[in-house]
Amino acid sequence: MVANNTRIAILGGMGMLGTDLAATCKRHGFDVKVFDLPEFDIRNSQQLKQTIDTADIIVNCAAYTNVDGAESEAELAYQINAEAVGRLGVIAKDADKWLLHISTDFVFDGRLNRPYVETDLPNPVNKYGKTKLAGEQLLGESGCRHCILRVEWTYGLHGNNFVTKMIQRAKKEKTVKVVDDQIGSPTATTEVGEVIYKLFPKKPEGIFHFASTGYVSRYEMAKFIFDKLSMDVNLLPCKTGDFVSAAERPLNSRFDCSRIKALLNEQIEPWQVPLEHFLRKL
């Protein structure tokens, strides 16, 4: 068991996942401190050291997440997603602290014709994915005790995401086109937060994939959202190639979550359940 006075430091704690994780930890009685811009910069070694010294467990949700922006701001993305993560690992090793780091499905190229397992070879197709993979690798090289949790298609109340973007578009446009060739699992940050909390007592090491159960296209996900909200919108399917974007996107984001299911020894909710709950909250 993890004692309730365990001190949890959440880096990037004001973001979509960080906010929901902090709420989950507080609900379970943990001593939680969140660190984020502008007061806290993960690239600042001194701030990192001070933060790690005051915590028993560190969760790193801090990241440069603008996928298209990373194509032109590759150096900044690398500083945040890779260099800082490697430095975090070195400091955590010196302090003998366990660290959980959030990564992404974008470390894969999406060309596999089955769900991805943790041991599949990463091959990112854009600069964001490359910086996130570099972060995983530098963390591994640091030698600290750590767990990497790869998540995908996340949405929550405290940030921009596919769900909120779809709703905004449907309010402005009568016809909405959505790609039907990107497949994955919509995953609520509230669900990710609960899983991270359940990992604290176990302090596992290595890489784990987590996403809601079941797979769906972006188009089918949009249809589900509009149907549940009874929004009158003309939804049309299209292909990823029909959109011009700075960064390439992986088409297959399906995760095989057997490893984390075995560790937690419990089932993962189908994607429809948390998404419907989220839409009711909106």
pLDDT digits (tens, 9 = 90+) for 38-59: 999 999 999 999 999 999 999 9
Neighbours of 253 (CB within 10 A): 22
Low-confidence ranges of the chain (pLDDT < 50): none
Look at residue 109 in the predicted model and tell me its pLDDT: 98
| Nearest of 206, 190, 203, 179 to residue 269 by alpha carbon | 190
Is 219 annotated in the active site? no
The catalytic residue among 64, 78, 128, 155 is: 128
Dihedral pair phi/psi, residue 258, rounded to 5°: -55, -40
Look at residue 1 in the predicted model and tell me its pLDDT: 60
Q: Classify domain 7-160+185-213+254-271 at the CATH topology level.
A: Rossmann fold (3.40.50)
Q: Are strands 175-179 and 154-155 parallel, antiparallel or unpaired?
A: unpaired
Q: Strand, helix or coil at 164?
A: helix
d(CA 63, CA 65): 6
Quick one: DSSP state of residue 115? Answer: P
Domain boundaries, given as residue ranges, for the chain:
7-160+185-213+254-271
Look at residue 5 in the predicted model and tell me its pLDDT: 83
Q: Would you say how long the chain is, in residues?
A: 282
